Structure 1
Amino acid sequence: MSESTSSGTTAPGGMLPVSRAALRDWMVTYISKLLDMPPGGFPTAASFAEYGLDSVEAVVMAGAMEEEFGVVVDPMQFFENHSVDAFAQAYGQPDDARAAPGAA
């Protein structure tokens, strides 16, 4: 069972309720706006530090994710998973998990 907080619930198992691809796209859009560059203007395998994101931006991005996805995101997750690709892989739902139930 998820814990309830004033800003949402903690994601069960740390997973966000969004596919890896959608999470990756959201992060690319968010970071591109933050860095004032076109979407896709940075490699998603590069570390957050390589494009200048620090702990302050991690806290702000975690808050934006909480608002977007309705679950609590611990900013430390960005330091444990150092890139958009690594974060999406660790915390997004498998891309095929969002397929229609009974499709197997």
Structure 2
Amino acid sequence: MTSLFENVFSKLGLSNEGVTKEVSTVTEASIKDWMINRISKALKIDPSLINTGKEFESYGLDSMQAIKLTSGLEKYIEIRLSPALLFEYSTIDSLAKHLITLTSSTKN
């Protein structure tokens, strides 16, 4: 099934490369690592400069970057996510905690 994000990317001529799942078990730590990696690549900054308690807004992510990040997360944790996710959970820490709750509830 094609996700909403894949449809948007296709219509905009964008790719979703680099969003495949890198570990077999999703943990809070692996989500944080995934987010740090993707944000550092999107913003072209060193991963060590990303503070997981700092709000996404403070990094200057634009709406397209936020959508692409959320789309990648959908693929990574294999759960459909809200496009407004990064606005609802404004830090890597809060988002990772929320996503672990979602992954746990969908597996039970």
TM-score clears 0.5? yes
Q: How does 1:1-104 map to 2 (within 5 A)?
A: 5-7=1-3, 18-92=26-100
RMSD: 2.4
TM-score (norm 1): 0.67
Percent of paired sites with the same residue: 31
Post-superposition offset of 1:67: 3.0
CA distance in 2: counterparts of 1:20 and 1:75, whole angstroms: 20
Structure 1 unmatched runs, 5+? 8-16, 98-104
* TM norm structure 2: 0.65
Aligned letter for 1:22? Answer: S
Stretches of 4+ aligned residues off by more than 4 angstroms: none
Unaligned runs of 5+ in 2: 4-24
SS at match of 1:40: helix
Which residue identity is paired with 1:20? E
Larger radius of gyration: 1
CA distance in 1, matches of 2:96, 2:48: 15
Paired residues in the alignment total 83
